[in-house]
A and B are shown apart, each in its own frame.
Chain A
Amino acid sequence: DGGITQSPKYLFRKEGQNVTLSCEQNLNHDAMYWYRQDPGQGLRLIYYSQIVNDFQKGDIAEGYSVSREKKESFPLTVTSAQKNPTAFYLCASSPAGLNTEAFFGQGTRLTVV
C-alpha cells in the first residue's frame, strides 16, 4: 500500500539532546513537508522540499533542520536550540501540480522530559 510512514510514533527527548524524526513515502511524490501541531493552533510549517537536495524554511524553522537526499525520505532533526519542542509533528507529501498537501503521515508525538 502506498502512503507515508512516520516513526517513531512517540519520542521522548532529554534537555539538550538532538532527535531525528523519520518520514518515508512510497507515493513517488515530489513535494514533502513538515508541520508542527499544538493544541488550539493550526498546523504550522517548519520546512518543505519540492525536489531532492533542495528544501525551504517555513514559518517556524528555527531550532529544526532537514535533509532531502532521496525522493522518498525527508527526516526532521529537532535540535537543542528548539526551546519548546514538545508537540505533535506531521509529515506530508503531494504530487507535482496539486496545490495542497495530499497525504499526511500518522504523526510523531515528541515530549521533552
Chain B
Amino acid sequence: QKEVEQDPGPLSVPEGAIVSLNCTYSNSAFQYFMWYRQYSRKGPELLMYTYSSGNKEDGRFTAQVDKSSKYISLFIRDSQPSDSATYLCAMRQNTGGFKTIFGAGTRLFVKA
C-alpha cells in the first residue's frame, strides 16, 4: 500500500464549477500537508501549505485536513480553464528528516 493515495483522474468539469481534489494517507505521523499545481512539462508550484488539521483559504482555493480520517482535500471555487493542470498532494512528518511524500497527481480539465 502506498503511503499517499491520489486518484489520477482525469477529472473534467465545466468552467465555474467547484472542484474537489482528495488524497488519503496511511502514516499518522504526517503533520505538514501541501498541494502543488503542475502544468504540462513544467515544475510543480506550491499552492497551499498547512500544518496539522483544519482549513486554510487562499483566494479561490481551500485546503482541508482531517487527520482523524487521514484525508486531505483541495477545493477550487469558480474554476477557470487556466486551472487545468495536474494537482499533487504532498505530506511530511514533523521529525525524521526532510522527506516529503508526494501523491501521483490528479489531472484536472476545466472546459470553457
Contacts and interface: CB of A to CB of B under 8 A. Distances in A.
Interface of A: 4, 6, 31, 33, 40-43, 45, 48, 50, 56, 58-59, 90, 92, 98-107, 109
A56 B32 CA distance: 21
B41 interface: yes
Interface of B: 4, 6, 8, 31-32, 34, 36, 41-46, 49, 51, 88, 90, 92, 94, 97-105
B42 A100 contact: no
Contacts of A48: 98
B8 A40 contact: yes
Nearest to B102: A42
Given A40-B8, A42-B88, A99-B92, A104 B43 contact: yes
Contacts of A106: 42-43
Contact of A104 (B31, B45, B94, B97): B45
Contacts of B34: 100
Contacts of A56: 97-98
B41 to A, nearest CB: 7
Given A42-B4, A43-B102, A90-B44, A100 B49 contact: yes
